Amino acid sequence: MKRFCWIPVMMFAVTIVTVPSGAQSSRHAFDVQHSKMTVDVAKRGLFSFLADNHEIDAPITSGSYDSASNSVEVIVDAAKLRVLDPKLAPDRRNTVQANMTGPQVLDAEKYPTISFRSTKVVPVDASRLTVTGDLTLHGQTHPVTFQVVKKDDGHFAGSATVRQTAFGITPIKIAGGAVSVRDDVTVQFEIALAA
């Protein structure tokens, strides 16, 4: 039986930091070498035991936090998303990769950029924030809200759920729908600000 292959994406991460009074610049770039974002894609259906869940590496191309405007911006190159799935044979992993970036899912050639721009950042307490903003994925822009936890100075973590169909992506189904990808995918991130 053919196993489903897919993976959508995404997205982004967010950070908030307090800048000492008198600081020269209010914009703080992400340290993309020490920041990490992954997308977890789960299976479902009667024969889901024959398929695989997928973990996708979604490297951040660029990102920044502006303390003056209390805003965040994150950019991901859709073509750079990579299927990790170490238990999959290389040829199957390549198939999943091709499906993910191809026209059936992300269509990275037509929609090369995934971006997030915050519209509101609300402190929940000393270490937690609620971030709302616009996510552009697969050529569509919709609002998303997610939680961020401050781990220490300049390091943040969080997760968000993204519904594929909200962005015009139809989850892959095989065997008449007996195996399919869940509509909701989970994005997890750890962000480091550049020194």
Q: What is the residue-averaged pLDDT of the chain?
A: 79
The third-level CATH classification (topology) of the domain covering 27-192 is Lipocalin (2.40.128)
HEC assignment per residue over 138-183: CCEEEEEEEEEEEEECCEEEEEEEEEHHHHCCCCCEEHHHCEEECC
pTM here is: 0.78
Q: Are 60 and 35 in contact (CB under 8 A)?
A: yes
User: Residue ranges per domain, the chain?
Assistant: 27-192
pLDDT of 19 above 60: no
pLDDT for the residue 92 = 83
pLDDT of 6 above 90: no
pLDDT of 17 above 60: no
According to the per-residue pLDDT averaged within each range, which of 93-97, 149-153, 185-189 is highest? Answer: 185-189
Pairing of strands 140-152, 155-163: antiparallel
